[in-house]
Amino acid sequence: MSQDHQPSSELSNRCRRILFRATHRGTKETDLMVGGFVRTHIASFEEKELDELEAVLELLDVDLADWLIGRREIPAIHQTPMLMRMAEHCSKSGAGLPEALRQG
């Protein structure tokens, strides 16, 4: 079974909370981008990476959306490995969309 389709029952409580936060950000676009990244990678993250991810989830939704779609450059202070990894993931065509809805 691939990581992005791991049943939530196999995830720890912490991972389930993080996934919920990532998919309920406040705007649909950010829910899709951040949630898609987290859904794809959460099962492989180590504790340190989960800490980094939780720090990213504390950032304002409007800033995350702008940074992840490239509307604004990510400020140096926020250019953490986790956020940069997320930005790379979100730069791909159809990021955040279910596989059946992706084009290209």
CB neighbour list of residue 97: distance below 8 Å, 6 or more residues apart: 32, 36
Is the pLDDT at 44 greater than 50? The verdict is yes
Model confidence at 96, in pLDDT bands (50, 70, 90)? low
Is the pLDDT at 2 greater than 60? The verdict is no
Say what percent of the chain tops pLDDT 90.
69
Rg (C-alpha) for the chain, rounded Å, is 13
Strands (E), 14-79: none
pLDDT at res. 9: 55
Identify whether the C-beta of residue 83 lies closer than 8 Å to the C-beta of residue 56.
Answer: yes
Is the pLDDT at 86 greater than 50? The verdict is yes
Model confidence at 92, in pLDDT bands (50, 70, 90)? confident
Q: What is the mean pLDDT of the chain?
A: 85
Parse the chain into domains and list their residue ranges: 3-92
Identify whether the C-beta of residue 37 lies closer than 8 Å to the C-beta of residue 28.
Answer: no
Average pLDDT estimate for 72-84: 96
Domain 3-92, CATH homologous superfamily name and number = Flavinator of succinate dehydrogenase (1.10.150.250)
User: Which contacts (CB < 8 Å, 24+ apart) does range 65-70 have?
Assistant: 65/27, 65/29, 65/30, 65/33, 68/30, 68/33, 68/34, 69/29, 69/33
Is the pLDDT at 10 greater than 90? The verdict is no
* pTM of the complete model: 0.80
